[in-house]
Amino acid sequence: MPRVFLVLCLLLLPFTAVARVAGPLEVAKPSASRDLASIRRAAELRVLVNQSRNSSGEVKGQSIGVEYHRLRAFEQYLNRNAHDGRAIKLKIIPMAKDQLLGALQRGEGDLVAPGELLKVRTASAVTASGAIRRNVQLVVVGRQGDRRYKYLEQMSGRSVALPAGSVAGEAINEINVRLIKRNKSPIVIEWVDPTLAVEDVLEMVQAGIFTSTAVELPIAERWSKVMPKLRIERHLVLSNNGVMRWYVRRDAPMLSAAIDRFFNSYRAPEDQDVAFQRIYRRLYKVHYPLGRVERKRLEQVRPVLQRYAKQLNFDWLALAALAFKESTLNPKARGSGGATGLMQITPVAARAVGVGNITVLDNNVLASAKYLAMIRKSYFNSPKLNERERMAFVLAGYNMGPARVQSMRAEAKRRGLNPNQWFFQVERIAMEQVGMGVVSYVNSVNKYYLAYDRERYLLEPRSKVSSRD
């Protein structure tokens, strides 16, 4: 009985405490308020958006985020009702979902548009808008062909992957309390890496890297149109009373009233997902990198990857993830433009770092690792970059040229984005300027790395389980 009581207490702890490694707390001393009148004087409405591409993505001028359509319509609504003729422009501020309300209360934005269900504490100094969508269900999403469950109770002891800030964590917590009372194992929540948003988790479920996730039904339905191997378990409902809303501070009643008037007449355009579907249907989707054949290939090239990763200070699994993306771990692969071998390095790039005969596996890996190291040292060596972001910038530079990536960082800084964060920040500039190609490339390698890292203890020899070499 003491053990059951302890588990119950742990389950009742707030999930936001483990949803993210770092980030500002939601409770902070609020700054001076900005209601609609001061917003009109400033001619700028600062909108805090969920950084996920599902909520706020824009690709070469085409909106793919669900909130962008509503926000542009609201901008037009405000400007139609301006008495002084001065137009308000939106300033979009993307950040992690679990940091949105804290930023609002600190006065870093005027409005939160999450694009997903958002948990608000009752004591919070935040006002919710009228309902954008009512009776939103949270459902389990799995993969076509995998085991099906008739009841939620059958998921006892199973794992569900959730992105940081997901309200599904609290719903699963409530289910787990009931399961433990029946002496059953709880559903295991895997809070995923902060570089992954809801759409990334869904893609990894489709690939079989994660077994399942839980999301809002409208989001599941939207992404299943471009990820046909997803299976929405409509009968496995975690909750069914969710309400999607926008949020403002309580000391901005005029802005709150304007939002409610806007939503009273707003109707989403029927074709709002046309661009989204066109862009995402043709994008590369990740595959399962740990099947029997893939594991065998990885084991065959592991010593070479580890040797040159250690020599040039890389995590060998990062090189393995890049190799899987480039050649599916095939040392004999041939690509366009002379791209050769496991790492698909070109002869020109290899010569630039003093390596020849890249048809030989060792030379192929050495050339790629040296080229990556050269990019890292010459362009992304700042101590302001953490190692995960540094590797993301190196990969982006490897794909499209480091000088171009640096220009995107400068543009990100000019716009008030974080120039030292690729994921969800500088990548937004890349999406706008060149499309989804480089974004998809970096994200795919990152997902393969995370898939490998989850099983590092199985992929490395026993004596080196604790090593990152």
The helix or strand, by DSSP H or E, that contains position 92, with its residue range, turns out to be strand 89-95
| 389 φψ region: left (φ > 0), alpha (ψ -120 to 50), beta (else) | alpha
Q: What's the number of CA atoms in the CB half-sphere (13 Å) around residue 335?
A: 17
Range 292-464: architecture per CATH: Orthogonal Bundle (1.10)
pLDDT at 86: 83
Span 123-150, mean pLDDT? 94
Lowest mean pLDDT among 23-27, 44-48, 96-100: 23-27
pLDDT at 190: 97
3-state secondary structure 109-146: CCEEECCCCCCCCCCCCEEECCCCEEEEEEEEEEECCC
- Mean of the per-residue pLDDT values of the chain: 90
* Top CATH class, 36-132+245-278: alpha beta
Annotation: CATH topology of 135-242: D-Maltodextrin-Binding Protein; domain 2 (3.40.190)
Q: Which residue intervals of the chain bear CATH 1.10.530.10?
A: 292-464
In this model, does residue 81 exceed pLDDT 80? no
Alpha carbon separation from 30 to 33, 105, 125, 354, 364 (Å, rounded): 8, 5, 9, 57, 55
Q: What is the pLDDT of residue 269?
A: 84
Confidence of residue 373 (pLDDT cuts 50, 70, 90): very high
Domain(s) of CATH 3.40.190.10: residues in the chain:
36-132+245-278, 135-242
Average of per-residue pLDDT across 423-451: 96
For 140-199, what is each residue's pLDDT tens digit?
999 999 999 999 999 999 999 999 999 999 999 999 999 999 999 999 999 999 999 999
Q: What average pLDDT does this structure show over 119-146? A: 92
Mean pLDDT of the region 112-126: 88
The lowest-confidence range among 219-228, 334-343, 399-408 is 334-343
Which amino acid, 119?
K
Other CB atoms within 10 Å distance of the CB of residue 23: 17
Q: Is the pLDDT of residue 463 over 60?
A: no
Q: Tens digit of pLDDT for each residue in 289-328?
A: 999 999 999 999 999 999 999 999 999 999 999 999 999 9
pLDDT the model gives residue 13: 46
pLDDT digits (tens, 9 = 90+) for 195-208: 999 999 999 999 99
Instruction: Please give the radius of gyration of the chain, using alpha carbons only, rounded to the nearest integer.
Output: 24
Estimate to the nearest angstrom the gap between the alpha carbon of 87 and the chain centroid.
Answer: 33
pLDDT in the model for residue 28? 40
